[in-house]
Copies of this chain bind each other. A is one copy, B any other.
Amino acid sequence: MARVTIVQVAERAGVSTASASRALNGLIASAETVEKVMQAARELGYVADATAQSLKRGKTLQLGYAVADIGNPVYVEIMSAIERVVQASGYRLIISSTGTASSSVDVVRDLSRGLVDGMILSPLRVTDDLIAALEAAPIPFVVLGRVPDSAGFDAVRADSSTAMRLVVEHLAAEGRRSLAFLNGPADTTPGALRLEGFRAAVAMHADVRSRLAEAADFTITAGYEAAMPLLTAADRPDAIVAANDLIGLGVLRAAEDLGLSVPSDVAVTGIDDTELAAVVRPGLTSVDLGADARGAAAAEMLLARIADPSRPAHVLTVTPSLVVRGSTVPQRPVALGSAALATPTDEEERTAG
C-alpha cells in the first residue's frame, strides 16, 4: 500500500532520478543503467504516478465518454465502439455517467479540468449552459447528437428524419392508417428530432392519420405506462411508433397485458435496433441508427482533432437502416440456426435509408 516514487528507485539503482526516468521511459541510457533501474523498479513494485506525469507532460493520455443514460443498451454499444478505437491508439477511456436527470454541464467542466485530453459526449439535452461549457472547455470534444451548426463543433449525428421516414413508409406500406408516435421527453434532443422527423414523414402520407403521445422517459416502464391510454382509447391506433426500443418494449408488454395481439391488432416499432429488439417476441421492428459506426467515428474524430487542433470542424451523419421484425409483419416460421439472433438475415429485411 505504500507509494514508491522514482526517487527510491533511483537511490536503489544508484543513479540520478533523471537517469531513472530515462531508463523507465525507454529513452537513451546505457544498457547497464537500464538494467539496474528496471530491476530496482521491479523489486520495489514501482509504478509511475499518473498525476505527476500528466502535470509534467501536459497531457493525460486519457479520453472521456460522458453518457447520460448508461441503462440504455444503445449507449453501451456506442461505448464499446469508442473504446475499440481509443484503445487502439494508446489512450485509455474513462466513462462518466451523468445521470439522466442532471445536465452534462458538470461533467464537462469536471473532466476538462485536466483529467482527460479530450472527450466525447452523448447529451440528452443540449442547453445553452452546455454549449457555453463546451466553448469554454480547454480540451477538444466531440458531440454525439445534434448541436447548433453555428457553434462549429465536431459532431456525429444520427439521421432522425430518415429514420422516421423509413418507419412511417414501412407502416403505410403494410396498410396501417392510424399511427401514434410515442415519444420520450420532447425536451431532449433525440425526443425533439424524432418528433420532428415523425411529423415530416407523416405529412407525406395524406391517407395516414397520426397522433402524438409522450412517455416520461426513454425506458420500458415509462413506455408501458404511456402506452396504456393509447391502447385502451376508443379509436385505438393501428400502429405505435416508439421513440426508442425501450419504449417500444413497454408498448409490447402493455399490448400483451391488454390481450391485444401484435401485429394484427396493433403494430409496434422501435428505434436503435438494440439486441433487445431481436430477442423479444414478437421481434421489434426497429431502425438501426448506426450506433457502432457513430461511436467509432466520434472517437476517430476526437483523435484527429487532438492530433491537429487547427483542423476545421467536421460533422458526420450516419445513415440509418430499417430492420423489419414480427411486431409489424406477421412472423414467418423461423429458419433454424443461430444466425437469426445475431444479424438480420432471412427472417429480417433490412432497408437502408
Contact = CB atoms under 8 A, between A and B. Distances in A.
Interface of A: 1-4, 45, 47-52, 54-55, 60, 62, 70-71, 73, 76, 79-80, 83, 92-97, 99, 109-110, 112-115, 136-140, 220-221, 224-225, 228, 249-250, 253-254, 256-258, 275-276, 279-281, 309, 334, 336-338, 340-342
Contacts of A250: 341
Contact of A97 (B45, B95, B96): B95
A231 to B, nearest CB: 11
Q: Which 8 A-B pairs have the closest CB atoms?
A: A95-B95, A50-B113, A51-B114, A49-B114, A94-B94, A50-B114, A51-B54, A51-B55
A68 to B, nearest CB: 13
- Find the residue from A2, A95, A256 having the highest chain B CB count within 10 A: A95
Contact of A113 (B49, B55, B113): B49
Given A51-B51, A279-B249, A342-B221, A70 B60 contact: no
A250 B279 CA distance: 8
Copies of this polypeptide in the complex: 2
Nearest to A282: B281
A97 B110 contact: no
Given A47-B112, A258-B336, A2 B279 contact: no
11 contacts: A1-B137, A1-B138, A50-B113, A51-B55, A73-B73, A94-B95, A256-B281, A257-B336, A258-B336, A276-B276, A280-B280
Contacts of A47: 109, 112-113, 138
Q: Which of A220, A249, A279 has the most CB of B within 10 A?
A: A279
B114 A340 contact: no
Contacts of A73: 73
Contact of A114 (B52, B138, B220, B249): B52
Nearest to A336: B257
Given A2-B138, A110-B92, A220-B341, A257 B334 contact: yes
Nearest to A55: B51
Nearest to A107: B92
